[in-house]
Amino acid sequence: MTAHTDTQGSVTTVYKVSGMSCGHCEGAVSGELGELPGVTSVKAVASTGEVTVVSDAPLEEAAVRAAVDEAGFELVGRV
């Protein structure tokens, strides 16, 4: 599990998402995850399939999975 609390009290978590292949994919995933309550930053990288999410508190995996699914992709899990 990769999640750590930053000095400002935010939590950074890296997820693996399958199916992203381009900038549009990155934008779709980032947009959906960015709407989750408490999320302050999302960086999706299609070439690695990794999505880094910074939030005020740890996110429920079910909520992250639902957001990724809504974007049309599959959450593999945490890196």
Residue 41 confidence (pLDDT): 98
**Cα 67 to Cα 1: distance, rounded to the nearest angstrom:** 19
| Six-digit token string for 57 | 């508190």
- Summarised one tens digit per residue, pLDDT across range 23-79 is 999 999 999 999 999 999 999 999 999 999 999 999 999 999 999 999 999 999 999
Where residue 9 falls (left for φ over 0; alpha for ψ -120 to 50; beta otherwise) is left
The DSSP 8-state label assigned to residue 60 in this structure reads P
Residue 22 confidence (pLDDT): 97
Q: What are phi and psi of 64, to 5 degrees?
A: -65, -45
Second CATH level (architecture) for the domain 3-78? 2-Layer Sandwich (3.30)
Q: What are the boundaries of each domain within the chain?
A: 3-78
